Amino acid sequence: MMARVTDDQTIVAGVQGHPLSVDEALSAVRHPRAGAVTVFVGTVREHDGGREGVTALSYSAHPEAESRLRRLAESVAETDEVRGVYAVHRVGELSVGDLAVVCAVAAEHRATAFEAGRRLIEELKEGIPIWKRQQFDGHDHEWVGL
């Protein structure tokens, strides 16, 4: 986990093995200049790709995942009016309903918070080297995206 805090804004990015906290994200991006905070929470669902019966899954990450996530968060933080960016992904064994990723963006106004928040999660999914292995109740498994 890395955090860069200045008077102008806060940037937090990380990959962690323990449960994520939405409260932590909200307090990290809190800023007196911000009038809007958007939060995205990705959770483990019991179905995927039209198939039911996901019982558990595990996320793993490349050693460079955290530094790449930090660069993405810094890039989103360069957006005009953005005052805080938080992006932390969970790794390890997760159950249905667990939080897999928490992203938050604080901005002066809501349009920026929504747009920058959307960009953050989309680019995280697209470009950060993290993998998901899904376990089904029939004991077989699959790697998502393969």
Partner 1 sequence: MATVRYFAAAAEAAGTETEQVPAEDLGRLLDQLAELHGAELARVLSCSSVLHEGRYVSDRSLPLAQDAVLDVLPPFAGG
Residue 132, interface with partner 1 (CB under 8 A)? yes
Q: Given the DSSP bridges, would you call strands 54-61 and 92-95 parallel, antiparallel or unpaired?
A: antiparallel
Among 126, 138, 139, 140, binds partner 1 (CB under 8 A): 126
Count of residues in contact with partner 1, rule CB under 8 A: 25
Q: In the 8-state DSSP scheme, what is residue 83?
A: E
Among 39, 114, 118, 131, binds partner 1 (CB under 8 A): 131
Of 112, 88, 111, 113, nearest in space to 100 by CA: 88
Q: Whose Cβ is closer to partner 1: residue 64's or residue 93's?
A: 64
Asked whether the beta carbons of 62 and 129 are under 8 A apart, the reply is: yes
| Amino acid in the structure at residue 88 | V
Window 6 to 65, contacts with partner 1 (CB under 8 A): 42, 59-62, 64-65
Interface segment toward partner 1; rule CB under 8 A; list 5-13, 16-24, 74-82, 131-139: 131-139
Give me 131's structure tokens. Answer: 């993998």
Site string for partner 1, 98-117 (x = CB under 8 A): --xx----------------
Interface segment toward partner 1; rule CB under 8 A; list 5-13, 19-27, 71-79, 126-134: 126-134
Handedness of CA 61, 17, 49, 51 (dihedral sign): positive
Q: Quick check: helix, strand or coil at residue 141?
A: strand
Cα 72 from Cα 68, distance rounded (Å): 6
Contact footprint for partner 1 (CB under 8 A): 42, 59-62, 64-65, 89, 100-101, 121, 124-133, 143-146
